[in-house]
Amino acid sequence: MKHTLFLALLALTFSCSKEIPPNIIFILTDDQGYGDLGIYGATDIETPNLDQLASSGAYFTSYYATQPVCSASRASIMTGCYPDRVGIHNAFGPGAKVGINPEETTLAELLKAKGYTTGIFGKWHLGDAPKFQPRKHGFDEYYGILYSNDMWPKHPQQGTVFNFPDIELYENETPLKVLEDQTFLTRALTDKAIDFIQRHKDTPFFVYLPHPQPHVPLYAAEEFQGTQRRGLYGDVIREIDDSVGRIWETLKKEGLEENTLVIFTSDNGPWLSYGGHSGSPGIFREGKGTNWEGGHRVPGIAYFPKRIAPNTRIDAPAMGIDWLPTIAEFTGSGLPEKKIDGASLVPLLTGKTTRAPHENFFFYYRTNELHAVRHKNWKLYVPHTYRSLNGRKGTNDGFPVPYEMNKIETAALFDLESDPSEKNDVAQENPLIVAKISKIADSVRAVLGDRLTGIKGNEVRPVGRIED
């Protein structure tokens, strides 16, 4: 059971309130890098709508996807928790016997209890079994795919590494068709989101629009093909930018712009082994699948004219765990009864503070491996292995280049303020800082565990499972 009494009380609170809570639109891209928008430094991709959205609201220069991989990152957005707290690791494949636990309270469930109508249009990736699908976790409507768009028979490593079944496009719990060509998908998802907005414009709504792109394989509608200097990847980003523009225009047309919070971000950094078919981490080191800055520092934009002033640049770090409590505060929703890790970004977004919501940020990957801790402007990497191209370039044909495995043998320390590209390890010059952050790492291990040190963690909750 999901705290029925608690949710009913929230619904009653909303019914007695005269203030109309804001609409929420959360747009999530897949594998988009920090350096893929104009406002974040891109010069070879045109992103006029996203650049304007950022300059008309707030944009983060140090926003982190919680983990550098799909399912785990998305779990943090839905629950406000580090994925390791809710038992979610890596990326779920088709037919996975695990998914988001029905005992967890999702962002959609909190908003639904507040009187919101909720819809998701895009990639779910928190379990494809019936009990894990979106409408079992607070969404009224669903249109999209249940896992990554490359988990299909056309994968370049199908038959050698993988054996994926057909990927299907769903409406609610019904598969509509097998996906053979994805060129229509970005527009179709946007159309569905716009239709949802127009149908529910008179009541508070939550639109979750997790685009499957620009995750490989790349697909752009014909009108966007060949339009960007970055090649097909740039074309894909330009179409996503157009999608944002269409949604924004719909809000203006329907008179909803002032009272709608629009959030835009990515689930992790670029998948560098795909070369020209991957995004750019900008000045940051490495990409998806690592806890170096390029793996999880991504665009983060929030637009809400009623509460967020234009040209609000936020340099303080924030993370995917923070969106649920942020949206809860903006909407007057309660928080889940179970413990969460996130903190509200409302003080930062509204200019009441310049302080980060957390003094420490923790970076896990794989199955419960603690790799790094950020403490203020310091980032400490504990011993672990990570993948890298080690200076090699990926190809431009949509086929991945194999990674090599590197190992950090002893703790490495970087000053992100003076060295955001993480080129200079200053651990030897700062032993007291290394010792201090190492103790902080021990404190989180006691809570969330760490497979690398054999610590299980005393606050880890179980992932959802289906019977064999």
Distance spanning both ends of the chain, measured CA to CA: 22
Rounded to an integer, what distance in angstroms lies between the CA atom of residue 112 and that of residue 116? 5
Half-sphere exposure of residue 208, counting CA atoms within 13 Å on the CB side? 31
89, 125, 137, 296: which is the annotated catalytic residue?
A: 125
Cβ-contact 129, 97 below 8 angstroms: yes
Which residue bears the tokens 């795919």?
145
Nearest to 28 by CA among 318, 293, 429, 299: 299
State the DSSP string of 19-85.
SPPPEEEEEEESS--GGGSGGGT-SSS--HHHHHHHHTSEEESSEE-SSSSHHHHHHHHHHSS-TTT
Rounded to an integer, what distance in angstroms lies between the CA atom of residue 324 and that of residue 202? 23
Question: What is the distance of C-alpha 4 from the center of its chain?
Answer: 28
Active-site residue, 125 included:
yes
In 332-403 the beta strands, taken as DSSP E runs, fall at 360-365, 369-375, 378-381, 384-388
**What letter would DSSP give residue 461?**
P
Would you call 344 helix, strand, or coil by DSSP? Answer: coil
Cβ-contact 318, 62 below 8 angstroms: yes
Would you call 303 helix, strand, or coil by DSSP? Answer: strand
Which residue bears the tokens 């994926």?
164
Close Cβ partners of 202 (under 8 Å, ≥ 6 residues apart): none
Q: Are strands 312-314 and 58-60 parallel, antiparallel or unpaired?
A: parallel
In 315-359 the beta strands, taken as DSSP E runs, fall at 318-319
State the DSSP string of 140-154.
SEEEEESS-TT-STT
Would you call 397 helix, strand, or coil by DSSP? Answer: coil
70, 81, 200, 296: which is the annotated catalytic residue?
A: 70
Rounded to an integer, what distance in angstroms lies between the CA atom of residue 402 and that of residue 387? 9
CA distances from 334 to 4, 6, 111, 148, 322 (A): 13, 9, 9, 31, 14
Rounded to an integer, what distance in angstroms lies between the CA atom of residue 348 and that of residue 96? 38
Q: What residues are labeled active site? A: 70, 125
